[in-house]
Structure formats: C-alpha cells, structure tokens
A and B are shown apart, each in its own frame.
Chain A
C-alpha cells in the first residue's frame, strides 16, 4: 500500500479528455445498444470483442507492421463479418441467436489464435492486448488541428458518434418498425434484412473503434447496460434512446470520478477508469431496478403494500358500521383484531391512520366511526350488499356463497357501478340475508 499518496488533483487537461472520450463512447454505444437489446442481440458486442483477433492477425501478417490503421481496418472487416456470419447461421440453419453468436465468435477467435501462434517466431503480437487501448492513455496520443491538440481517441469516437447519430436519425422509422415487427416492415417494403445488416455493421465499427481507443469492456457494457435500464424506465423507443444515452453519460462521469477518488479512501491510487465506468453503469441499473416508477421493485412492493393498507382500513370501517347497525357498542382493539385476523400491533397503525384522516375516533379504547367515517362505510356496505343481491339473482349463488366475492369486490366499486347494480338488482331495500341496503349518499351535500 502506498503510504505517501500525492494529494488528489483533477486536471481538465487529462481527466477532461478521458471523460470526453468515455462520454463519446458511451453515447454511441448506448444509442445502438438500444436496438440490440430490443432485437435480443445484446451479446454481439462481447462476441465481436473476441472475434476480431483473426482480422488483426491477418492485417499484421499481410503487411508485417503493427500500424494501427491497418489493424483497425482488419478488425472492422472481421467485426462486420462476425455479425453477418451470425445472421447467416441464424437464418439459414434456424439456430438460436445466442448459439449462432457462440459458434461464430469462438470459431473466429480460435482461427486468429492459430494464425498468431503459427507465425509466432516472426511476430511480436500478443493475443491478449493487440488492439485493446486503455482509456487512461487517451490524452497522450494527440493530433493537432489548427491551434488545438485533440486526442486521437476523442476524434475517432466523435466520428463514430456522428455516424451513429446520422444513421439512427435518418433510419429511425425503419429501425423502429424492423425492431418491433419485421414481418410488418417487409410488407411495408422496408427490408428488415438490410436494416439488420446495417445495424450490425455499425455495431462492429463502434465496437472496434472503442476497443482501440478506450478498451473493450467499456463498449461491451455500454452497449447493454444503459439500454436495459432505459427499457425499465420507459416504453417509448424515442425516450428509451434519449434515456439510455443520458444514463451512459452519467455512468461515464460518475465512473471516472469514482475510479480516481474512491480507492484513495483505502490508501490506493486510482483504479481502472473503464472498470469504474462499468460499475457505475451497473449501479445505475440497480438503482433503476429498485426505484423505477412503474417496473421497479420498490414501486411494485409499495403498490401492494398501499393496497393492503387501503383494504384493511376499509374493512375496519365496514366492520364498525355493521356493529353500529346491530346496535352494539364500539369495538375494542381486541375484538377488531380477533374479527379481522389482524395482529394487535398493526392496529396501532390503523388507529393512527384512520384517526388522522378523521374516519374513526377512539374513546376509552372504544373505536367509533365519525360522521365522515360513517359515510365512507355506508358506501362500502351498500356496495357489498348490492353485489350480494346481484350474485344471488343474476349469478345464482346460494346464500352461503355470497359473502366472499362481495367482500372482495366492494373495494373496487364506485358510485357508477353501484348505480348500475341498483338498477338491475331485484330488491332495492334489503340484501339476500334480509339486511337493509343503506341508501346512496347525495354527493353534492
């Protein structure tokens, strides 16, 4: 462990460029990734990251140099080839997408490995890290444009982003239809095949450009994680695109700051920025899973809980109403807990809740309905008994069967449905058990 860490500093000159490169990569990857996720091709990025090896090897063997532009071209060719071979295998052999990807990328990687190892005595080519750039090194390799010195990685990724944005904007409609309903697209004269291959080719280009400039794990993650989170947040494709790009950018910024600051808490210096950005994207996904307004865990648990509270509260009111109707004295906590099968400790909560909403007041441990509570309970009991009438006359249930469905439905029944039940019911005075049906309240008063 390094005891004498230099003080933390943030250099716009260095960190600014790193973040910018990350942002460009994240934006271009999440933009295309949304379509990959929709088309269930998410694993394509990872597959390409392994499969480009023979392209690199071939470029090297043909030219005998490690010049990056040639390697880049070789990798792009094989990247496009990977996605096309995958499509070909999938369509012609009717193989699963995943299986097709698996066959193609493992085969290509093995081929590349053999090519490299076979010519190892003439070649200085490490299969692990030929093309795998590192985002931390982006500020070092610069091009001069006018009076500006801009890192090459930033230029490359900016170019990729522009191409991707132009593609998505011009082909938005076609991409949308072919992603959701390829058959419809074909019948409209939009070739789903052409869109598929175009998309795959752009993914290959984005992936390879990112491997070279910012490293492979970042683009593989950004192709999948932000779009998956966006899919949980929205149902509209246009919003999904925007949200996933924004999430990708947020993850990039947070990831870089995290990677250079968090390890210092334990006395280490900064760790892999690409790793940090990936973790940040993962953290955003977990946050989405927990807190997404519609699909999130918390919201679905919360909705269930709120519903449960509402039903129990209404049951308490209806019970108190029936007791009043029978002329019995107010209920104690004990009798309520017995009749509603509710633990005593939960009753405190309902006592507070119903009290604060002015439905119930408790005098000397006796629960009594207030005027407002009585009115609410009246609606419930009226709904309940109207339903019983309905089930007895229209559905033909026996008297013993009437209670459970009515007990369930009373919580869902508004005045509109009560009105209809009232008009169709046989008796408008009493329910099948002979109990009086309370009158509908006049809402205007």
Chain B
C-alpha cells in the first residue's frame, strides 16, 4: 500500500464513511463511556475485578438457557434467551459475592474469586453435557463469549446505546448515594441509604454492561474497560466529579483509537487494539499524571538529592580548604588559591568516582568550583562564599545539638546532616541569635576538626 492509499484509508476511517466503521465506533465508544463511569465506582468500592467475576459467571446461564431452549423444542440459539440466561446467572453471581461479603473472614477478592471459579466450573461442566446432546454442537455457544467487534451491525449498536444510556442515567441519578457508598460505607448506612441494595444496583449495572459488552466486544475487553480507564483517571485527580468524566473520556478515547487502528491495520483484532491503547493511556497516566504520577515524585526526589549533594560537597571542600590554610604558617594562602585532590574529597565523603564527578560538574556549571586536568578542584570566589555560609549554618546547628540536645560530639556531624536540609532561614536566624556570641557571622571552628592531613598536600 502506498502512502497515498494509506492516507485515503485513514481519512475514510476517521470520517466514518463506512457503515461498519460507523457502527463499531458508535458501539464501542458508548460502551467505553458507560464502563468508564461504572469502573470508577467499582474501583473506589475496591471491586475492580467485579467485571471479571461476573463475565465468567454468565457462562452457566448461557448453557442453561441453551438447554432450556432445546428442551422446549427450539434450536436453543436464540439470542434473547441466551442473553437473559447470562444475565440471570450474572446477577446470581453478584448476589453470591454480596452474600459472601457478609462473612468477616472472606475478603472482597476471595469472594470474587470463589464466584468466578465455581460459576465458570459449572459452565464448563454444562458445556460438556451439551456436547452430548444431538443439537449441541457447542461451537456457537463458546463463540458467544468471544465477541466480534469488527462485524457490529446497527442492531447491536442500538442495543448497546440503549443499555449504556440506561446505565449512565442510573449512575447519574444515584450519584450522591454511590459517592457515599464508595468513600464511606458506614456513613452511607448511617444516612439511611440501603447499602446492600445500592451494592446490588451497582452489581446489576455491571451485569448489564458486561452482558452487552461480552456479546459485542468480548470477555477480556469488557474487563479491561471496567478496570483500566478508571485506574488511569486516578492519577490525574482525587475528586470523584472529575474522575467520572475523565475515566469515561479515556475509555472512549481508547475505544475510538483502538477501533481506528484495527480498521487500518490488517489482522489486528479491535478488542485487543482497544485494550492495548487503554493500557497505554494507563501507563502514560502512571508516569505523568499530575496528582499521583511517578515522574513528578521521581523528579522531586532527584532534585532534592542533587541539592543535598551540592551542599555536602561544598561543605567538605570548605573543611579541607580550611585545614590546608591552617597548616600554611605564612598565612598567605587565599581561599581560592588552595586546590584539593578530587580523590581526597571522594574518600572524605565516601562517594563513588562517578557520583563525585557528576556533582563537581554541576557545581562548575553553577560557577562555584573549578576543576582541572590533574584531578584537583578549587573554589571560585562565589563558591567559597556559598560554602562558608553552608558551613556556618551546619556548625551552628551542630553546636545547638551538642548544647541543647546533648548529642555526642563524635556523632553530631551525622545528626546534623540528617536534619539540616530541612531547616528554614527563620530557624537559622534564631540559632544565630542564640549561639553566635563570638564569631559575628564568621564560620566557627568545627567541634570535630579534621585530624589527619589529607594524603596529598595543597598546591598553590
């Protein structure tokens, strides 16, 4: 296919010129919106996988409906009959989950798993039974649980539209009690809401969506639409009124994009494409969501680490330079004249070489330090000033800890390290008033001066 043809194809799909594409887009889009909304309630109710359990619980209903259909003389494969069977056992499964939850020792996830496995086991058992009756070439039945989005017709779309419309309407009408139910079940009950029946109602909404979705788009996709967009929306907001439309929008977006990709690319099943797009939106939200996204917290963490490194390096350098100048009897060495071997600083701080070089490089960029080829570093004038300020603060804080918190002088350096980054200027100001009686803003001597001369002397 040439680029031109591809472009034409894209335009055809996006502008919905095909009847089939139009139906698929409409159907999946609506389904996405409804399941996005219900998914939020499920997520907050900590029942995200309810769709999973219910969709498995529909299988025995389908089988029983088929058996009833055959027993009453038909072929058994009438869609309304099978759907109502599916809905019946789906609801029964939901009720069983609510019932199991009455036991303190059976938790939410166990209740879902119990219903899922037992109902599905019953379904499997009935399928093998059906295979034994002459009418029961069960292939069509198994096909029922794997929908085919690509071949959606207007009737399917109308069914989806009416069901999702009802679901959305109920969800919006019962917004307030649902909100209470999700955030504080006990409070909802104390306000006189019938918690059990609200749960049951939520359950029936899920059953409705699952049945329609199963038949239209398949098992895995309907589970994904109920879970993934809701989980993704949580990274962007804490507020339910914003979460609901956001989750619906994400779900609809995934459906439309997924369906488009499936229409364009040969042999990409639309259900799978939709799920993959939804998972991609989840990953984007996980990383970049402005409320809980991990990129932002990583970045904050990284910046904090950097500022710690900067302060530690400047202070260590200051102490080494200080020692060097004390040992210079002539007293001619200025603060920017002394250069220190990088190896010595590394040993002092116990950093790896790479860590050290990265920190040094950043300080050089900020114009605070210079380092040159022989592996030595020295302060610039502004760097020395900044280092003196930091050291002054650090030592004041050490003095304070020794004097008022009775910290051992040998350990005070570590204790001060832990807390000093969190001190704000106001506290430093009051420390200054309290402790700085003799130095007038000059750096006080260290309570634990360096004893050994660094292995290499300073150079001019």
Contact = CB atoms under 8 A, between A and B. Distances in A.
Interface residues of B, number: 61
B46 A96 contact: yes
Interface stretch (B16-24, B82-90, B229-237, B336-344): B229-237
Given A42-B110, A99-B230, A232-B105, A278 B122 contact: yes
B62 to A, nearest CB: 15
A101 B46 CA distance: 12
Contacts of A353: none
Given A107-B224, A117-B267, A98 B48 contact: yes
B165 interface: no
Contact of A109 (B104, B110, B220, B286): B220
B33 interface: no
B113 A106 contact: no
Nearest to B235: A93
A217 B117 contact: yes
A45 B132 CA distance: 30
A46 B129 contact: no
Nearest to A285: B114
Contact of B118 (A1, A110, A221, A268): A221
Interface residues of A, number: 62
A438 interface: no
A231 B125 contact: no
A2 B133 CA distance: 8
B387 to A, nearest CB: 37
* B contacts with A: majority SS: helix
Contacts of B114: 224-225, 228, 282, 285
B231 to A, nearest CB: 4
Contact of A106 (B108, B118, B224): B224
A199 to B, nearest CB: 15
B48 A42 contact: no
A272 B267 CA distance: 34
Contacts of B223: 102, 106
Contact of A102 (B52, B110, B146, B274): B52
Interface centre among A50, A95, A269 (most CB of B within 10 A): A95
Given A41-B109, A106-B224, A106-B227, A268 B132 contact: yes
A246 interface: no
B57 to A, nearest CB: 12
B286 A89 contact: yes
A40 B110 CA distance: 7
B409 to A, nearest CB: 30
B107 interface: yes
B272 interface: yes
A288 to B, nearest CB: 10
Nearest to A108: B279
A99 B48 contact: yes
Given A96-B46, A282-B118, 16 more contacts: A2-B132, A40-B109, A41-B109, A43-B52, A92-B294, A93-B294, A96-B48, A96-B231, A98-B109, A99-B48, A102-B52, A107-B276, A109-B272, A228-B113, A272-B125, A276-B125
6 contacts: A1-B133, A102-B52, A102-B227, A109-B275, A228-B106, A271-B128
